[in-house]
Structure 1
């Protein structure tokens, strides 16, 4: 069973992703911000991280930079999520596996995960 870490401060989005991905057969771990997401990595080694761009405490770009700088986590694919245009996100993050513009469609989520997990 593949594990996906969902890092999003919007409770409703995290809950929907947790239910959707659980129904698709994934183990889902949820974190409310980047700091909590990094802490969860000590408990679980996810196969994929879905990371919100704008969050309190530690935002997506700061979290993404720490993930990529750490040899233990640098190879984990990351899907960035934001209501901002991808061009804005790409200015602060390079090397992500996929981008999902909020609000997103379920089919787009599943497609991005399939591509990221290869």
Structure 2
């Protein structure tokens, strides 16, 4: 079973994302900060990450930069799920492979993206 780490500080959204991940057969864990994400990555070694861009007290860009600074994590697939006005092309240099807009995403779209990032995991 593939492992999907969800970095989301809103419990309601985390629950929704976990249900979508479960529908594609992923084992999930949720953390609420970039620091917790790095600890969970070290301990649990997920196959992919779903990341909210607007985390309380810190930015997801800091986590993306941290991931890319480690050779063993630089190719970890990341999907961003956010309400902010972001362009996927702007995030590709950070290793982001997919973008979900919380305001408009449909369950089938989220499940497809989760499957895609998990399939892209080495």
Q: Do Structure 1 and Structure 2 share a fold, with TM-score over 0.5?
A: yes
Kept after mapping to 2: 8 A contact 1:35/1:58: no
Kept after mapping to 1: 8 A contact 2:8/2:55: yes
Alignment deviations for residues 3-59 of structure 1 (CA, whole Å, 9 cap, x no partner) = 000001111011111233224321101101111111111211111100110102432
Kept after mapping to 2: 8 A contact 1:64/1:93: no
Tell me the SS of whatever aligns to 1:76.
Answer: coil
Instruction: Give 1:115 deviation, angstroms.
Output: 2.5
Unaligned 5+ segments in structure 2 are: none
Instruction: Give 1:89 deviation, angstroms.
Output: 8.5
**CA 91–110 in structure 1, closer or farther in 2 if over 3 Å, else same:** closer
- Show the counterpart of 1:60: 60
Kept after mapping to 1: 8 A contact 2:3/2:27: yes
- Separation in structure 1 between the aligned mates of residue 116 and residue 91 of structure 2, nearest angstrom: 22
Kept after mapping to 1: 8 A contact 2:64/2:95: no
Aligned ranges 1:26-45 → 2 under 5 Å:
26-45=26-45
Kept after mapping to 2: 8 A contact 1:35/1:57: no
What is the number of residues matched between the two proteins? Answer: 118
Kept after mapping to 1: 8 A contact 2:6/2:14: yes
- Separation in structure 1 between the aligned mates of residue 39 and residue 58 of structure 2, nearest angstrom: 12
Computed over aligned residues only, the root mean square deviation of the Cα atoms, in angstroms, reads: 2.1
Kept after mapping to 1: 8 A contact 2:88/2:98: no
Unaligned 5+ segments in structure 1 are: none
Kept after mapping to 1: 8 A contact 2:77/2:95: no
Tell me the SS of whatever aligns to 1:86.
Answer: coil
Kept after mapping to 2: 8 A contact 1:80/1:98: yes
